[in-house]
Amino acid sequence: MSAARSVRTLVAAGLVAGITATALVAPAVAAAPPKPSHAATQQALDAAVAEGVPGAVAQARDGRARWTGTAGERKGGDRFRVGSITKTFTATVLLQLQAEGRIDLDDPVDRWLPGVVRGHGHDGRKVTVRQLLNHTSGIYSYTEDPAFQEKVFGPGFLQHRYDTWTPEQLVSVAMAHEPDFAPGTAWNYSNTNFVLAGMVIERVTGRPYGKAIENRIVKPLKLRATSVPGTDSRMPKPNSRAYSKLSRETGGPTYDVTALNPSIAGAAGEMVSDANDLQTFYRALLKGRLLAPAAMKEMTDTVPISPELPGVGYGLGLMRQKLSCGKEVWGHGGGIHGSHSEAQATRDGEHSLAANFNADWTGDTQKVIEAEFCGTTPAER
């Protein structure tokens, strides 16, 4: 459920004109443009496997051109858990509901979830829905709770992998801690924000947030590999296995963590998809097919996340990153047990990338992003 780390080329294809000589003067004939090279992207996938990732997959689109690369134990059509990429779907639904006049993102959270954000200094009357979506609420992230980490991300996972967590239980974990800061005064990534956002969607629509995502995004875009599994621990096929060390140490045993109850993530990170569908979603979003211009302006109005990362900003469930070559991409990263994913695209939605590593202790997906959009290989960096 992690955010993208720092964030992510396409070799320009020249148009070669040819002249065919005949007895008469023949017109110039434009040869078909050569296919873009994704050599650097493939090298980044290979390098990740050399570093210990069991398998890596990436797919890129530039206009109508498509490329898929794999390394290690992967296939191009694998489905995987996308973690925090779920957040962009959740935010999109809330922006749609605002456009329909059913909610105002500047409403206090307490209007929709009275009394839920309370305890140890948290106050839902002072936090807005917008602040949930851009991580300026100050609400503590339940995934930072030491006891939760031990039970869900540490060795305790093996015993509790099929446990169901309700959104209320996840929020209660966060409410046992002090806020990170006063609402609107700083930025800090909190998975609790988006668990609450999912609860707000349910309160507004009267149905689980996942149904709203399915009806408003998945079905209209025909995202056949994308699902909101709820409490279903199974992975739909085709999929690759997911692996974790279940420890901060990288030298211990490796565990198969493919099966898990994704209610530990909820609207902050439970979804399943593949590289093709993720690109379809982000391209449609950035091209204005899901939100009107006014809503997209709100979504892409970013706040700085850190003085150390001046080229990175966070909007409403959407991150902007300026890459080493000066290019700018929009999207989100996502991490969950045994899975690290990225989905990024240029602002016009024309050049996109989605990638996944089936390990959570090694490999750097940022290198794949830089390779695709800037053409730099891991050795060159």
Q: Which positions are annotated as active-site residues?
A: 84
Bridge partners of 334, per DSSP, are: 341
Q: Mention every residue, 6+ apart, whose C-beta is less than 8 A from residue 205.
A: 97, 102, 211, 212
Q: Mention every residue, 6+ apart, whose C-beta is less than 8 A from residue 189.
A: 2, 3, 135, 141, 305
The span from the CA of 344 to the CA of 366, in Å, is 11
Run of H or E including 119: strand 118-119
Query: Burial level of 111, CB count in 10 A (0-12/13-18/19+)?
Result: middle
The span from the CA of 343 to the CA of 278, in Å, is 6
Q: Residue type for 314, please?
A: Y
Query: Burial level of 154, CB count in 10 A (0-12/13-18/19+)?
Result: middle
CA atoms within 13 A on the CB side of 50: 8
Q: Mention every residue, 6+ apart, whose C-beta is less than 8 A from residue 294.
A: 99
